[in-house]
Amino acid sequence: MTKAADEEERARHRAKMAKRKEVQDAEVAGKTVEKGLLIVHSGTGKGKSTAAFGLALRMIGRGKRVGIVQFVKGAWHTAERDALETFGDRVAWYSMGEGFTWETQDLARDIAAAERAWAKAVELMDDPSFDLVILDELNIALRYDYLPLDQVVATLKARRPNLHVIVTGRNAKPELIEAADLVTEMTLVKHHFAAGVKAQAGIEF
């Protein structure tokens, strides 16, 4: 490519990006609503809770306070909890599950644990000192009917106007998806478990 042709290509690129920036700036300027979001992370792929904890870090970095309630993984120690709790009272973490349902094998016990976790979730959502509340694996509790879906969705919809809430877990109910502002589905393309790789520290926990 000659020097003249190279300069012409750069000029075309600058013009193209300038036009793109103009369109992008206009779109951003048109967004005027600021509100607390109901965010749902679902799907069969890995990363639903991990993405939620990433947003927790972003909130903490903005000087905000985060509450976390785990509906299932209470029996499983996680490094994320250790890391986030180094921020002191900026993070309130409650692991209130007793493990996956195939581990407990006790329906009444699972329902009771879910009800305790939901009561704590409502308490955090009602506390104005929290800007973000993460309800980790709430979708699992809803999938197995451990909690009344209509009541949960109604409470989430009636939360404080400026409160952000993230709900994680597979098989999000259609009613929750309908109520949400942002829904992301993690799609499984390939997983190392299928090749016999076990859960590893720093990756799975």
> What pLDDT does 7 receive?
81
> What pLDDT does 194 receive?
85
The DSSP secondary structure of the chain, one letter per residue, reads --HHHHHHHHHHHHHHHHHHHHHHHHHHHT-------EEEEESSSS-HHHHHHHHHHHHHHTT--EEEEESSGGGS--HHHHHHGGGGGGEEEEE---S-HHHH--HHHHHHHHHHHHHHHHHHHH-TT-SEEEEETHHHHHHTTSS-HHHHHHHHHTS-TT-EEEEE-SS--HHHHHH-SEEEEPPPS--GGGGTPPP-TTTT-
> What pLDDT does 153 receive?
98
> What pLDDT does 101 receive?
55
> What pLDDT does 97 receive?
76
Q: pTM for the full model?
A: 0.87
Which residues of the chain are modeled with pLDDT < 50?
none
> What pLDDT does 4 receive?
66
